[in-house]
Amino acid sequence: MPVPILKQGEVLIASIQAALTDKDLVELRDELARQVGAYRSRGVIIDVAALDVLDSFATRTLRAIVYIAKLRGASTVVVGIQPDVAFAMVQLGLNLEGVVTALDLEEGLDHLAALAGRSGGRAG
Amino acid sequence: MPAEVHVPIERELDIVTARQKGRALAGGIGFSSTEQTIIALAISEIARNILSYAQRGGVSISELDAAGRRGILIVARDDGPGIADVELAMRDGYSTAKSLGVGLPGAKRVMDEFELESALGKGTTITMKKWLR
């Protein structure tokens, strides 16, 4: 199931709706890389609140998305990691080092707006 | 009759199915929501291991009831190429395919029992157990 990506000002919001297969995640990565360029986006938010788990493949792909977006000039925030999901990640030794996270969509947008403010760009 | 499910692992969607069925079964046994997530995550890792290295295999998940001790048993089996160096495969950070190389060691860390049997050319079987506390 493809992940819907909403465009809100200079920010792209990818809102994951259900458990994703590896292929869905890879498609999300490629689609975000494309849309960041197409819409000249400065920020990306990936809402993972609906994900049942974040396993080694998902964490690796999220890190890749963040780095690719960065190379394309956009900052990414991953939001909505559920408490159980976070706990399981820690227990297994998975990490999202280098990935900016926020509690929810609102906090993520605040973070991006603050970044935009600092760099003199328009806020999303 | 204790609960039991078998999920063939042949494509990516099967990884999701296996971990979701495992989570449901763990919930039925009485594992907490956090433990269910940990179990689902461990199943995701061993199921992906099958797909990455052997292309096909299966995951069986069942309830354990041994002398009043309840728990969950997860067995992942494949007839793939086998693992040449099991000790190396279980080392944190080691990977020959597309994972981070943390999947199997991570799964081992969160389970109470973890056994990996592999013979070159004959496939791999991972057996793991977690007991209800």
In a domain, A53, yes or no: yes
Residue A105: count of CB within 10 angstroms of its CB: 16
Enter the tokens of residue B32: 């907490």
In a domain, A124, yes or no: no
* Record: contact A88-B45, CB cut-off 8 A: no
- What's the domain range around A28? 5-119
Interface test with B, best of A51, A53, A91 (most B CBs within 10 A): A53
A53 CB within 8 Å of a chain B CB? yes
In a domain, A101, yes or no: yes
Q: How far is B23 from chain A (nearest CA, A)?
A: 10
pLDDT confidence band for A124 (50 / 70 / 90)? very low
Superfamily of domain B4-131: Histidine kinase-like ATPase, C-terminal domain (3.30.565.10)
- The predicted complex's ipTM stands at 0.88
Q: Which residue has the tokens 């227990």?
A: A91
Does residue A37 contact residue A53 with C-beta atoms inside 8 Å? no
Q: Could you state, in order of their start, the residue ranges of all structural domains in chain B?
A: 4-131
Q: Which of A8, A96, A111, A4 minimizes the C-alpha distance to A50?
A: A4
What are B82-106's pLDDT values in tens digits? Answer: 887 777 777 766 665 544 467 888 9
What are A8-45's pLDDT values in tens digits? Answer: 999 999 999 988 999 999 999 999 999 999 999 999 99
Give me the number of domains chain A comprises.
Answer: 1
pTM: 0.90
Backbone angles phi, psi at A43, to 5 degrees: -140, 150
CATH code for the domain of A40: 3.30.750.24
Query: What distances in angstroms separate CA B91 from CA A53, B36, B43, B132, one per listed residue?
Result: 23, 25, 18, 27
